[in-house]
Structure 1
Amino acid sequence: MDFTLSPEIEDIRLRVRAFIEEHVLPLESDPENFADYENIPHERLQPVREKAKAAGLWAPQSPKEYGGMGLPVGAWPAIYEEAARSIFGPLAIHCMAPDDGNMNVLAKVGTPAQKEKWLRPIVEGKVRSAFAMTEPSPGSGSDPGMMLTRAEKKNDRYVVRGRKWFITGAEGAAHFILMARTSDDARRGLTAFLFHKDQPGWRIVRRIPIMGPEEHGGHCELEFDGLEIPFENVLMGEGDGLKVTQIRLGPARLTHCMRWLGFSKRCMEIAQEYVAHREGFGIKLADRESVQIKLGEVAHQIQIGRLLTMHAAWKLQQGSRARKEVSMAKIQVANTLHNAADVAIQLNGARGYSKDTILEWVYRYARSARLVDGADEVHKMVLARFMREEGRDFWKWG
């Protein structure tokens, strides 16, 4: 495998880098650009998103016919990483979760009519979306087989009843992908549905307070009490919900890693800039061996994460589900992000703990990385299962 970028992708990467530098990074320096939930308000973000569209740097993952750039998954790591030099960057070029994963799965498995109705408005940035799967205990979390929300057939539609929670972006979303149980079959008991926020039969119970910062639309608890969904809004087919979940979550986990690597590199950038000029006891921090060791360790871990992420993306582009590779990347990069923010704060001292930099923002955000889309422990269990099943072939070259 060769991770050298083609001239076309390298040109896009450099254009994204320049765009983030010129139009997005300045937004972070102004406290007025942070809304109540510590993200950028829509009215301040929208002009930058329009500039991204005009520059041809919009929705890199989505098909060109729907308004995206149509880039192959192997090109995403370089582009997403550059976008995430700013905490607002992925939003600015439209590659931020949960829209990112929803656009990807709709492009892959939606019918032409579903793509026109549900995908195109998301790609164009006219609506936001959410993916509703996680439930309160004893319902489904990392194990979708525990799902309790049910959709029962009634004439020409399904009627949904149940609860979901920690649904990212739900308060600001118009288009939803909903997972619900349609039978008790272990493999084909779940079905994926599409619904619009204005349909009756459901409500947002609350926006759940979190450690933060938050994505647009928060993390919400939802209640379904008779939501009616016509047959044409089933994604794939009845009983294909687990397959839809797998198709969505593999790439979605990996794009998280791509963005987290950008955030990790930014933490190191802030740390290096500070230690290069800050002196203590007659010596610059950058000249202290203890500081150099800290920075070198994080640089090492970031590069390991990049290689794992690029390898997983390469596998996906070859048509593999890359389950092992995605889990490896997810574990490595989530922990690297947390460590990068921690080290950068430590080296910046009180400045890092304050809101004078984005380090404390990234630090709080980073703690969720080891939980979202499968906790560290779940991904380690996945790797252990593969190793048990494959033996020495777990490390095969092919």
Structure 2
Amino acid sequence: MDFALPPHIDALRREVRDFIDCEVIPLEADRANYDEHENLDETVLAGVREKARARGLWCFQMPEQRGGRDTGIVGMAALYEEAGRSPFGPLAFNASAPDDGTMILLNKILTEAQKDRWLQPIIDGRVRSSFAMTEPDGCGSDPSLTYTKAEKNGDKWIITGRKWFITGAEGAQHFVLLARTGDDDRKGLTAFLFDADQPGWEIVRRIPIMGPEEHGGHCELRFDGLEIPDENRLLNVGDGLKVTQIRLGTARLTHCMRWLGLARRSMEIAAEYVERRRSFGSTLAEHEGVQWMLGEVAKDIQVGRLLTMQAAWKLDQGDFARNEISMAKIHVADTLHKAADTAIQLCGARGYSKDTLLEWIYRYARQARLVDGASEVHKMVLSRSYLSEKGEFFRWGV
């Protein structure tokens, strides 16, 4: 593939970078702009989103007729990376998880009438969404271990069970729910849509975590008789795993896109510091050991960019790109942590303090090797693929 960006995408990328530098990064330094969970306060976020939307920097992943920019996944890779240079950048452009993945899923599988009801409010930024899959008793990286039940009663489904670590649940309005409707491991799950105003469910708690949180946190939910009309079922009965695969495939890669931006930002902070900080008669940047550290991370970031862009290109061609996404997810998750750790080491006590964003990124980075499939699960996927294909695993596309 040709890694050169189309001119209109590169121009948009430059606009995104300028917006991040001028409108978003300045907000990071004032602690008054943060909420109690170390994210941007809702009022502050609303203001920056209004500016982004006024400049046409909104929903790069959605069709133009619904208010997006429809850049394709390769375009998203370039734009999300620039947006991710601030942890609050993707929020500004309505390109952050979990809404990003939910919008991509719903745009692919809903009817136009259903899109008006469930998708358009998320695109417009009027409501937030959440994807309820993970469970305390089983389902995590393996959705087939879902125990939450959906039982048919006339033209409705009755939901009972529990979910946890559901990102963005507090304050979300539209939910995608995965529940068991049969005994078959592959065809025994079904996905549904429900609205936060429907009775029969509750948020038990917002689970405290090590790192800073997305808006809405990571919550534990209980379902005790939630009724969902059959018309709000996604695809056919038994297609729950298919829905999950449609959503998580691209969503895993958009995580990589944003994480690459954060990795780059970590090194930008470190580079600015080592170029002016003097030690033993020269700047830190002139020390060979420091150069090795910077060079190693720069190399890993570039490898991650190429892996991510290759997977994005294959998705744009209609390929599932499962191996490519797994490779990118493993490598970029490791690189984000390495970049933050290296930058803190180079910045010394200043990097460990809250005078820079590095400690925020470092705490956030640890989740990257867990969310949307632990690194070990992705390695298992790659191993199975290799053992099945042997030499063909390394084939070039023709």
* Fold similarity call, TM over 0.5: yes
Distance 2:362 2:321 in 1: 29
Q: Secondary structure at the match of 1:134?
A: coil
Q: Secondary structure at the match of 1:115?
A: helix
Counterpart of 1:320 in structure 2 is 319
Cα displacement (A) at 1:236:
1.2
Q: Secondary structure at the match of 1:130?
A: strand
Distance 2:21 2:92 in 1: 12
Counterpart of 1:80 in structure 2 is 80
Counterpart of 1:256 in structure 2 is 255
* 1:335-388 CA distance string (max 9 Å, x none): 000000000000000100100000000000000000000011000000000001
- Percent of pairs identical after alignment? 65
Structure 2: runs of 5 or more not aligned: none
Structure 1's consecutive aligned runs of 4 or more residues displaced over 6 angstroms after TM superposition are none
Counterpart of 1:188 in structure 2 is 187
Counterpart code for 1:143: D
* 1:153-200 CA distance string (max 9 Å, x none): 001100000000000000020000000011112221111100010100
Structure 1: runs of 5 or more not aligned: none
Counterpart of 2:150 in structure 1 is 151
Counterpart of 1:124 in structure 2 is 124
Give the alignment's Cα RMSD to 1 decimal: 0.7
1:98 aligns with 2:98: yes
Counterpart of 1:33 in structure 2 is 33
Cα displacement (A) at 1:68:
1.2
* 1:307-331 CA distance string (max 9 Å, x none): 0000000010000110000000000
- How many pairs align? 397
Distance 2:185 2:333 in 1: 31
Cα displacement (A) at 1:69:
1.2
Task: Please identify, of 16-25 and 302-311, the stretch whose mean Cα deviation from structure 2 is larger.
Answer: 16-25
Task: Please identify, of 256-265 and 11-20, the stretch whose mean Cα deviation from structure 2 is larger.
Answer: 11-20
Counterpart of 2:19 in structure 1 is 19
* 1:117-145 CA distance string (max 9 Å, x none): 110000000000000000002x2111111
Distance 2:68 2:97 in 1: 16
Distance 1:344 1:172 in 2: 34
Distance 2:327 2:69 in 1: 28
1:134 aligns with 2:147: no
Counterpart of 1:390 in structure 2 is 389
Counterpart of 1:244 in structure 2 is 243
TM (normalized to structure 2)? 0.99
Counterpart code for 1:110: L
Counterpart of 1:351 in structure 2 is 350
Counterpart code for 1:162: G
Task: Please identify, of 179-188 and 299-308, the stretch whose mean Cα deviation from structure 2 is larger.
Answer: 179-188
Distance 1:177 1:3 in 2: 35
Counterpart of 1:2 in structure 2 is 2
1:42 aligns with 2:42: yes
* 1:230-267 CA distance string (max 9 Å, x none): 01101112111100000000100000000000000000
1:109 aligns with 2:100: no
Distance 2:70 2:77 in 1: 14
Distance 2:34 2:353 in 1: 15
Counterpart of 1:202 in structure 2 is 201
Counterpart of 2:210 in structure 1 is 211
Counterpart of 1:364 in structure 2 is 363
TM (normalized to structure 1)? 0.99
Counterpart code for 2:370: L
Q: Secondary structure at the match of 1:366?
A: helix
Distance 2:164 2:280 in 1: 51
Q: Secondary structure at the match of 1:170?
A: coil
Counterpart of 1:176 in structure 2 is 175
Distance 2:341 2:19 in 1: 28
Q: Secondary structure at the match of 2:113?
A: helix
Q: Secondary structure at the match of 2:199?
A: coil
* 1:11-40 CA distance string (max 9 Å, x none): 110111111111111100111111100000
Q: Secondary structure at the match of 1:21?
A: helix
